[in-house]
């Protein structure tokens, strides 16, 4: 079975559409999103509508669950006062611009999805989809986490040897195997932070030969995204941030 996993689109419609076109050419068995559909760019309603119209199931990122519930902040990380200010500006902008339909769609997203690659009538690998970790969608599961941390995460999910736990949230793609459990961070479609501006997603294969996670990067119309940010009342720093692949601010 082949699964396309897309995460952290963050209201970047040109990036999403380029990724969906690339996925359509490859024809996986299913496509899932791993949350954070909105925030930081101006197409929150359009991105959610595209996901809904294409029938792409997925889980709630911290941005989705907080916008849906009018929580007091987005659960985003920041390392200085300016980043904190930008984070709040983006969150308030997004809350002010989402439609009732968008909020309803975000509110309906589950925290976690378990996919049985062989259909569930046979024992076989389980693919678990999360945004952060198994208890909070705000936990950053970074590549430098210890084996012990990932072992506990696998146990918390109920994963066994040969299973896959996939998540996003950090916007940096990676794949590690600990005690036979595959941990796959999908990276980000609309706001990568690994220095590569191109939209990123994962093509995951689960089969007799084992597990393969291919990290795909797709060029998109970044000028359109940057111009739309500059033409909006969102913080203009977000345009340079996209162009730099998430390196123009230390973190956001």
Bridge-based pairing of strands 181-185 and 174-178 is: antiparallel
Min. distance of Cβ 95 from Fe ion in angstroms?
A: 16
Closer to Fe ion at the Cβ: 125 or 235?
A: 235
Closer to Fe ion at the Cβ: 126 or 170?
A: 170
DSSP string covering the chain, please?
Answer: -EEEEE---TT-HHHHHHHHHHHHHH--SEEEE-S--SSSSS-HHHHHHHHHHTT--B---HHHHHHHHT-SS-----SSHHHHHHHHHHHHHHHHH--HHHHHHHHT--S-EEEETT-SSS---EEEE-SS-SS-TT----TT--HHHHHHHHHHHT--TT-EEEE-SSS--EEEEETTEEEEE---SS---SS--SEEEEEEEEETTEEEEEEEEE---HHHHHHHHHTSSS-THHHHHHHTTS-SSS--
Closer to Fe ion at the Cβ: 8 or 17?
A: 8
Residues that bind Fe ion (CB under 5 A): 8, 36
Min. distance of Cβ 168 from Fe ion in angstroms?
A: 6
Min. distance of Cβ 235 from Fe ion in angstroms?
A: 16
Residue nearest Fe ion by beta-carbon distance: 36
Min. distance of Cβ 36 from Fe ion in angstroms?
A: 4
Closer to Fe ion at the Cβ: 17 or 36?
A: 36
Min. distance of Cβ 188 from Fe ion in angstroms?
A: 6
Closer to Fe ion at the Cβ: 206 or 241?
A: 241
Closer to Fe ion at the Cβ: 38 or 164?
A: 38
Min. distance of Cβ 142 from Fe ion in angstroms?
A: 13
């Amino acid at each position: 079975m082949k699964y396309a996993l897309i995460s952290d689109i963050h209201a970047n419609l040109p990036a999403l559409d380029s990724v969906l076109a690339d996925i359509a050419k490859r024809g996986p068995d299913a496509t899932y999103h791993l949350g954070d559909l909105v925030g930081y760019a101006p197409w929150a309603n359009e991105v959610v509508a595209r996901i809904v119209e294409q029938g792409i199931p997925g889980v709630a990122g911290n941005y989705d669950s907080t916008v849906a519930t009018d929580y007091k902040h987005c659960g985003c990380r920041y390392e200085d006062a300016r980043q904190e200010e930008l984070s709040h500006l983006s969150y308030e902008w997004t809350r002010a611009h989402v439609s009732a339909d968008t909020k309803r769609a975000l509110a309906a997203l589950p925290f976690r999805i378990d996919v049985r690659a062989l259909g569930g009538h046979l024992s076989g690998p389980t693919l678990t989809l999360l945004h952060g970790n198994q208890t909070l969608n705000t936990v950053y599961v970074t590549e430098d986490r210890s084996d012990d941390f990932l072992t506990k995460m696998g146990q918390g999910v109920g994963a066994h040897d040969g299973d896959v736990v996939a998540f996003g949230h950090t916007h940096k793609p990676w794949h590690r195997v600990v005690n036979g459990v595959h941990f796959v961070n999908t990276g980000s479609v609309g706001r990568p932070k690994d220095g590569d501006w191109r939209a990123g997603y994962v093509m995951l294969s689960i089969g007799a030969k084992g597990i393969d996670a291919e990290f795909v990067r797709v060029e998109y119309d970044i000028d359109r995204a940057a111009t739309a940010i500059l033409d909006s009342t969102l913080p203009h720093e977000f345009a340079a941030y996209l162009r730099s692949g998430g390196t123009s601010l230390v973190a956001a």
